[in-house]
Amino acid sequence: MHILEIPSFFTPYGGEFCLEQAKALKALGHEVRILSNVQLGITIGGKDFLVLPSCRFEHERDGITIYQSYQRGLPRMVHHNVMCWVDIVCSMFTEYVAKYGKPDILHAHCAKWAGYAAMQIRKQYDIPYVITEHLPKDIFKLELGEAPTTAWQVPLLKEAYHEAVQVITVSDELVAELADYFGHDFCHVTISNVVDTDFYAFKKRQPLDGRPFVFCCPAVFNHRKGYDVLFKAFALLAKVCPETELHIAGRGTDSKDCRKLMRFYGLKGNVTCHGALDAEGMKRLYYQSDALVLATRNESQGLVIAEAMSTGIPAISTQGVPKSMQLDAGFRYVPVGDAEALMKEMQKAVGRPVTEEEGRHLAELVERRFAPSVIGAQIAEVMTGTWPRS
């Protein structure tokens, strides 16, 4: 099957889940490429805005061919930028077909706006499309306001969902969350994102004798990720377990605002701010950590939990993580916003580290549920079942 992946956002602004799914599908013998148009903002990543190419070009990552474009967005002109983005994707698709032929199916990552662009392509070329929705409700709330809303984006996205042959959500809870905005009058199934279990392989940790217990938190620095709760919890923990460290990684974790929040809670030398890390950097962080902690207020999935557990460490999070990620073993969760409860679970982790045998069990559990071969087969089954379109 010839599959074209279209992400709504991609490097340097994330979207690696698209690449991982493309690799998983290609490993099953499918012909898979990615068509990516990334909107750059002058206020976010100004250097990228200035130096990244202005022409369309092809490149390869991990064996996947990517047809790439970078669009310069105009400040405060959301509708204009969206329509330009969709037009560019449609134009790139025409060029793609001239070179590679028509794909059998389109796989759009997020309705906003890859799903909408895929719908426009379907109208012209009669090619079915599937949407995998990754975005949590809080992301839509930031742009569209509280539901219900008359925002201009809503009818466009509702149509994109409705016209898709299938909508794949990364958690069951996401369907209910998005219903306030878009209803649920569309075909949907839940399939997780991929964890590269070979890359994030189990590794035995060094004995704790003579070294601190290390927590890691891989999350972008923003309100939704709950760093205020995490810093408060870790400040409480440091009073009773001083031989502990917290390593935070993700866009903005090395910012002035992040350090200001750390100072507010009295955190200094026992917290390390890594900033944004690539996959290799994340793997190194997991391997030097003894447990993951996530104080998130809301997640569409929270895949970092499975990544960390794949390397052999337990995870502590909040009930803002979907139930599909609340694995039976090696996972503790607390109410959202409860710093004291989070601290107590962190204290339990320090007092009772996982054994090597338990760590290997966590890795095996993740492999059975999230490995590329498992998720790739599930996605391919959805695509095969909906193609050709009846």
Q: Is 350 domain-assigned?
A: yes
Query: Does 133 or 388 have the greater pLDDT score?
Result: 133
**Cα separation of 180 and 182, whole Å?**
6
Q: Is 204 domain-assigned?
A: no
Task: Please check whether residues 273 and 130 belong to one and the same domain.
Answer: no
Tens of pLDDT, residues 243-268: 999 999 999 999 999 999 999 999 98
Task: Please check whether residues 179 and 284 belong to one and the same domain.
Answer: no
Q: Is 200 domain-assigned?
A: no
Q: Is the per-residue pLDDT at 324 higher than 80?
A: no
Q: How confident is the model at residue 136 (pLDDT cuts 50, 70, 90)?
A: confident
What per-residue confidence (pLDDT) applies to 389? 40
Task: Please check whether residues 14 and 126 belong to one and the same domain.
Answer: yes
By three-state DSSP, how is residue 188 classified? Answer: strand
**Rounded mean pLDDT of the chain?**
93
User: How many other β-carbons are positioned within 10 Å of the β-carbon of residue 304?
Assistant: 25
Q: Is 83 domain-assigned?
A: yes
Q: Is 199 domain-assigned?
A: no
Q: Is the dihedral of CA 274, 267, 330, 189 positive or negative?
A: negative
Task: Please check whether residues 178 and 106 belong to one and the same domain.
Answer: yes
Q: Is the per-residue pLDDT at 314 higher than 50?
A: yes
Domain holding 162, by residue range, is 2-194+371-385
Task: Please check whether residues 225 and 346 belong to one and the same domain.
Answer: yes
Percent of the chain with pLDDT over 70: 98
Using an 8 Å Cβ cutoff, are 111 and 161 in contact? Answer: yes
Q: Is 99 domain-assigned?
A: yes
**Cα separation of 109 and 36, whole Å?**
11
Q: Is 205 domain-assigned?
A: no
Task: Please check whether residues 232 and 321 belong to one and the same domain.
Answer: yes
Task: Please check whether residues 313 and 169 belong to one and the same domain.
Answer: no
Task: Please check whether residues 343 and 242 belong to one and the same domain.
Answer: yes
Task: Work out how many domains the chain is built from and give that number.
Answer: 2
**Cα separation of 46 and 138, whole Å?**
25
Task: Please check whether residues 307 and 188 belong to one and the same domain.
Answer: no
252: left (phi over 0), alpha (psi -120 to 50) or beta: left
Task: Please check whether residues 87 and 229 belong to one and the same domain.
Answer: no
* pTM for this entry: 0.87
Task: Please check whether residues 153 and 229 belong to one and the same domain.
Answer: no
Q: How confident is the model at residue 390 (pLDDT cuts 50, 70, 90)?
A: very low
Largest CA distance in the chain: 65
Q: How confident is the model at residue 342 (pLDDT cuts 50, 70, 90)?
A: very high
Task: Please check whether residues 124 and 72 belong to one and the same domain.
Answer: yes
Q: Is the per-residue pLDDT at 357 higher than 80?
A: yes
Tens of pLDDT, residues 81-99: 999 999 999 999 999 999 9
Q: How confident is the model at residue 63 (pLDDT cuts 50, 70, 90)?
A: very high
Tens of pLDDT, residues 269-299: 899 999 999 999 999 999 999 999 999 998 8
Q: Is the per-residue pLDDT at 388 higher than 60?
A: no
What per-residue confidence (pLDDT) applies to 51? 84
**Cα separation of 15 and 288, whole Å?**
25
Q: Is the per-residue pLDDT at 387 higher than 60?
A: no
For the segment 315-323, the average pLDDT, to the nearest whole number, is 92
Q: Is 206 domain-assigned?
A: no
Which domain CATH number covers 64?
3.40.50.2000
Tens of pLDDT, residues 203-227: 999 999 889 999 999 999 999 999 9
